[in-house]
């Protein structure tokens, strides 16, 4: 059989839906997931029964210096070398005011997490669909503003929660939905990044940051989406002294606890431990595990130990890792000798562009009805992100108080005092972080 079935689309067969995307941020996340997506989706496209063949071109890039973008351009596949490139703090605004920016269908945001809101806001005002890396934003008020803009401009906004696409986590949710596992009691999750990430790749922006906001939201979303219920309280602590000073605002590790209430008036608490100071000779890229206890069972999942161990003399565990997560963005040579890169990290991005193509180009219903239909799939929508953002905002406030020598705060959700309130030891009244209700269906 000819390999042409798996190569680029012939000139005589134009794609039914050619989408153009802008990329804001050009670091590790781009290389791990967006790069393989654009290299494959831009060259041969992917098929959707609703609209036909979809291609997605990386048409523009915004980064602080442009060095990585130009280095990539020099070695990228030919179909990816023509992207526009803007740099600096005002780079996105400059792009969106240009002809290249006007032609974009969507903007993908993979900047440091404290820059997500401004970029998403500019993109929505310019009328673009938006895909944001987690966490979407740091506060519920920012989330409210993005939701308002998305509704006003009738655009789709998705948050990249790729762990919902992990086959192990999908199996967990299936067992819960099907009633095989009944009523979660409590859970433990951990995600530990190496020093080369937290103190190396992120050294230019990690001042004043913490690994919990950066990665705990993966598990916050998994818990919220899989088990339902309502977030009622958040507490946290952490350690300092490696990534920053012992009494400074930069955290090495965090331990976050969230408690949920369920319709039967029972509760469940979940502990989420994160770090970005794991030794670089650790056998895996990251340490990831979960354990959930149910009335009738236990789920233990370990995303690093999935049955593969590799040893290469002189190369593992630094250049290559001993334990490999091939499910996330595994590179392979297919049986038909095509080089591919697949995994749930890439699948989450493809899903977004399938939805954009459906909204803009499908023939069923109206554009408004199609947008409403997609937004009703709330697994990564802004409206469904409220509990996660509430927990992130709570974590940030608790850690900020600890830096000011007021540790051990607890944030409560939807009480008489407000939607999100920080209670500090010895204080008669809480600090109101967010006055409106977090859950708005009451």
Interval 158-180: pLDDT, tens: 999 999 999 999 999 999 999 99
Q: Residue 122 in 3-state DSSP?
A: helix
State how far the Cα of 194 lies from the Cα of 274, in Å rounded to an integer.
11
Instruction: Dihedral sign for Cα 305, 310, 313, 316, please.
Output: negative
Look at residue 1 and tell me whether its pLDDT is greater than 80: no
Q: What is the DSSP letter of 197?
A: I
- Kindly state the tokens that stand for 319: 């250049």
Look at residue 68 and tell me whether its pLDDT is greater than 70: yes
State how far the Cα of 114 lies from the Cα of 138, in Å rounded to an integer.
7
- Kindly state the tokens that stand for 419: 């939607």
For residue 286, name the pLDDT band (cuts at 50, 70, 90).
Answer: confident
pLDDT in the model for residue 15: 62
Q: Which of 32-36, 153-157, 165-169, 282-286 has the lowest mean pLDDT?
A: 282-286
State how far the Cα of 313 lies from the Cα of 349, in Å rounded to an integer.
35
* Interacting residues of 293 by C-beta distance below 8 A, sequence separation 6+: 184, 185, 186, 187
420: left (phi over 0), alpha (psi -120 to 50) or beta: beta
User: Per-residue pLDDT averaged across 202-210, rounded?
Assistant: 87
User: Per-residue pLDDT averaged across 205-226, rounded?
Assistant: 95
State how far the Cα of 343 lies from the Cα of 349, in Å rounded to an integer.
10
State how far the Cα of 52 lies from the Cα of 15, in Å rounded to an integer.
8
For residue 12, name the pLDDT band (cuts at 50, 70, 90).
Answer: very low
pLDDT digits (tens, 9 = 90+) for 366-425: 999 999 999 999 899 999 999 999 999 999 999 999 999 999 999 999 999 999 999 999
State how far the Cα of 287 lies from the Cα of 306, in Å rounded to an integer.
12
409: left (phi over 0), alpha (psi -120 to 50) or beta: beta
Strand partners, 189: 272, 290
Domain extent listing, the chain: 3-163+335-382, 165-327+387-434
Of 135, 250, 256, 246, residue with least CA distance to 199: 250
Q: Which CATH superfamily does the domain covering 3-163+335-382 fall into?
A: NAD(P)-binding Rossmann-like Domain (3.40.50.720)
Nearest 5°: phi and psi at 76?
A: -75, 160
Instruction: Provide the CATH number for the domain formed by 165-327+387-434 in this structure.
Output: 3.30.360.10
- Kindly state the tokens that stand for 133: 């890396």
pLDDT digits (tens, 9 = 90+) for 323-367: 888 889 989 999 999 889 999 999 999 999 999 999 999 999 999
User: Per-residue pLDDT averaged across 9-28, rounded?
Assistant: 77
pLDDT in the model for residue 403: 97
Q: Residue 56 in 3-state DSSP?
A: strand
Percentage of the chain exceeding pLDDT 90: 83
Q: Do 301 and 172 touch, CB atoms closer than 8 A?
A: yes
C-alpha distance from residue 432 to each of 243, 396, 429 (Å): 30, 14, 9
Supply the pTM of this predicted model. 0.94
Question: Could you give the maximum distance between any two Cα atoms of the chain, in Å?
Answer: 75
Per the prediction, the chain carries an average pLDDT of 93
State how far the Cα of 223 lies from the Cα of 173, in Å rounded to an integer.
10
* Helix, strand, coil share of the chain (percent; to 5): 35, 25, 35
State how far the Cα of 143 lies from the Cα of 141, in Å rounded to an integer.
5
């Amino acid at each position: 059989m000819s390999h042409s079935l798996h190569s680029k689309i012939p000139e005589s067969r134009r794609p039914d839906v050619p989408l153009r995307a802008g990329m804001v941020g050009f670091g590790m996340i781009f290389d791990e997931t967006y790069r393989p997506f654009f290299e494959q989706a831009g060259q041969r496209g992917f098929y959707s029964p609703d609209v036909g063949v979809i291609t997605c071109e990386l048409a523009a890039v915004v980064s602080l210096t442009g060095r990585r973008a130009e280095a990539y351009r020099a070695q990228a596949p030919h179909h990816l070398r023509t992207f526009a490139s803007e740099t600096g703090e005002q780079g996105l605004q400059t792009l969106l005011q240009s002809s290249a920016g006007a032609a974009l269908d969507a903007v993908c945001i993979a900047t440091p997490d404290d820059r997500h809101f401004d970029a998403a806001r500019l993109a929505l005002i310019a009328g673009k669909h938006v895909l944001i890396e987690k966490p979407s934003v740091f506060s519920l008020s920012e989330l409210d503003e993005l939701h308002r803009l998305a509704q006003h401009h009738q655009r789709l906004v998705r948050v990249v929660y790729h762990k919902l696409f992990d086959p192990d986590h999908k199996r967990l949710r299936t067992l819960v939905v099907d009633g095989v596992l009944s009523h979660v009691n409590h859970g433990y999750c951990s995600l530990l990044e190496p020093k080369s990430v937290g103190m190396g790749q992120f050294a230019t922006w990690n001042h004043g940051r913490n690994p919990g906001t950066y990665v705990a939201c993966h598990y916050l979303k998994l818990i919220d989406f899989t088990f339902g219920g309502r977030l009622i309280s958040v507490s946290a602590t952490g350690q300092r002294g490696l990534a920053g000073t012992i009494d400074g605002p930069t955290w090495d590790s965090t331990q976050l606890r969230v408690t949920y209430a369920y319709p039967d008036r029972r509760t469940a608490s979940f502990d989420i431990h994160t770090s970005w100071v794991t030794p670089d000779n650790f056998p895996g890229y990251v340490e990831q595990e979960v354990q959930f206890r149910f009335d009738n069972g236990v789920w233990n999942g370990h995303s690093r130990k999935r049955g593969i161990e590799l040893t290469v003399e002189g190369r593992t565990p630094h250049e290559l890792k001993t334990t490999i997560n091939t499910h996330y963005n595994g590179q392979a040579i297919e049986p038909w000798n095509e080089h591919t890169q697949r995994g749930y990290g890439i699948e989450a991005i493809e899903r977004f562009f399938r939805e954009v193509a459906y909204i803009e180009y499908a023939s069923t219903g109206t554009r408004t009805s199609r947008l409403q239909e997609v937004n009703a799939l709330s697994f990564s929508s802004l409206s469904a992100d409220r509990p996660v953002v509430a927990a992130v905002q709570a974590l940030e406030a608790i850690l900020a108080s600890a830096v000011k020598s007021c540790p051990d705060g607890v944030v409560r959700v939807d009480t008489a005092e407000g939607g999100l309130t920080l209670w500090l030891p010895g204080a008669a009244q809480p600090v109101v972080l967010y006055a409106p209700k977090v859950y708005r269906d009451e």
